[in-house]
Amino acid sequence: MQNFSNCSVKKMTRKKKARFLLIFGTRPEAIKMAPLVPALKQIGEVRVCVTAQHRKMLDQVLDFFSLRADYDLNIMKEDQSLFTVTSGSLRLLEGIIDDCRPDIILVQGDTTTAFVGALAGYYKKVKVAHIEAGLRSFNKYSPFPEEINRSLIGRMADYHFAPTEKARGNLLRENVYGKNVSVVGNTVIDALFKGMDIIKKDDSKYKRRFRFLDNSKKLILVTGHRRESFGRPFGQICRALKDIAGEEVEIIYPVHLNPNVRSAVYPLLRGVENIHLIEPVDYPSLIWLMSKSYLVLTDSGGIQEEAPSLGKPVLVMRDVTERTEGIDAGTAVLVGTDRKKIVESALELLHDRRAYLKMAKRRNPYGDGTAAVQIRDILKKIVGRKLDE
């Protein structure tokens, strides 16, 4: 693996074979890109470039799915800003693209890494494929900066792989060329099914790790980290969790490393009975906890998509979401950061079995685990035409 934070670029010999460059830098991106690596290797050469926007959490996913980075920008710095992530990644990606000479660059979702990857491809006049395209909240500051990142990628990308028809419709309304938009589902479901197959082989490992949980009580999994919730909204979320903890439940909350999150969570929830504040967990531990939970409270986009495939109702602790398909399908409820609404919605699911089953048995609108294969087949036709030109 080449670390491009402190080494020069060596030229590679070009072969007459399709070459794909996958660029990602965070744990959610790595999870959703993981199924594409073996799929695309069936039709061409694959190079993986990680910016390491999130270092430790990214590496855990690479290890779990046995992925190797061909290029590592290693840009993560303590207390990094959007400015440093953007400028650092863009500067280094120029050399990566010159070295790899890809036919198509693939980026995923709405991170700053994804935006910069698409921008670098555009600057180099390399075709860009956007995985999980077309999601919109129509509020440029929520989620921040993801909403604008995703919209700008949509303007630069050449091929758009939308998870749902609603996402496709958003792109068409923005005058994206319709023939280049394909509805394939979300690769996060592919990764979830693969991940569950792996952890089932070592279930006892996770039972030992989380043996402090009382299995006689309903488990609630909580995640929260959104920038737009920093400050008072996080205080409201924590007070809601404290209220819910008075029920016969176990609440487990892997607390994000961001100091804005930890400074809100620990003073309010440390030592509260039935609430377990733990350090961030790796991906396999997270999906194991999700599979054992009764319901999930989250502001995570990926978990909104994953949990319904495991039959887990989701309360979305955001004021707006770009993943409205789950709301429409009834697999999720948008509760915002309002203390009263979070508590009332959680208690209804805890005590009303009919309301719970109504959500738990809904079909997941984000796909059936075949997204990577569909993307592979579409790109096979595209690169076939390109190489013949």
Active site includes 227?
A: yes
Name the residue among 357, 339, 341 with its Cα closest to residue 349: 357
Active site includes 256?
A: yes
Measured between alpha carbons, how far is 264 from 235 in angstroms, rounded to an integer? 6
Round the average pLDDT of the chain to a whole number and report it. 92
Q: Reduce the secondary structure of 57-117 to three states and give it as a string.
A: HHHHHHHHCCCCCCEECCCCCCCCCHHHHHHHHHHHHHHHHHHHCCCEEEEECCCHHHHHH
**Would you place residue 387 in the very low, low, confident or very high pLDDT band (cuts 50, 70, 90)?**
low
Active site includes 239?
A: no
Q: Residue holding tokens 């930890």?
A: 262
Active site includes 363?
A: no
pLDDT at residue 54, rounded to an integer? 77
| Angle (CA) 39 40 44, round 5° | 140
pLDDT at residue 301, rounded to an integer? 87
Q: Which of 27, 136, 160, 225 is catalytic?
A: 225
Report in angstroms the alpha-carbon separations of 335 from 52, 143, 344, 367: 32, 15, 9, 24
Active site includes 160?
A: no
Measured between alpha carbons, how far is 175 from 169 in angstroms, rounded to an integer? 10
Pair 261, 255: CB distance under 8 Å: yes
Residues ≥6 apart with Cβ < 8 Å to 5 = 72, 73, 74, 75, 92
Q: Which of 55, 209, 227, 262 is catalytic?
A: 227
Q: Which of 29, 103, 132, 250 is catalytic?
A: 132
Q: Which of 29, 110, 158, 319 is catalytic?
A: 110
pLDDT at residue 5, rounded to an integer? 52
Active site includes 132?
A: yes
Residue 172 DSSP one-character state: H
Q: Residue holding tokens 């790796």?
A: 282
Written as six digits, the tokens of 68 are 């190797």
Name the residue among 336, 46, 305 with its Cα closest to residue 163: 305
The whole model's pTM is what?
Answer: 0.88
pLDDT digits (tens, 9 = 90+) for 297-313: 999 988 999 999 999 99
Written as six digits, the tokens of 331 are 């697999």
pLDDT digits (tens, 9 = 90+) for 341-358: 999 999 999 999 999 999
Measured between alpha carbons, how far is 305 from 311 in angstroms, rounded to an integer? 11
Question: Which segments of the chain belong to CATH 3.40.50.2000?
Answer: 2-185+370-388, 202-360
pLDDT at residue 51, rounded to an integer? 94
Q: Which of 72, 103, 146, 190 is catalytic?
A: 146
**Which homologous superfamily does the CATH classification assign to the domain defined by 202-360?**
Glycogen Phosphorylase B; (3.40.50.2000)
Name the residue among 101, 90, 146 with its Cα closest to residue 11: 101
Residue 259 DSSP one-character state: H
In CATH, what class is 2-185+370-388?
A: alpha beta
Higher-pLDDT residue of 260 and 115 is 115
Q: Which of 256, 318, 323, 376 is catalytic?
A: 256
Q: What percent of the chain has pLDDT over 90?
A: 81
Average pLDDT over residues 204-222: 96
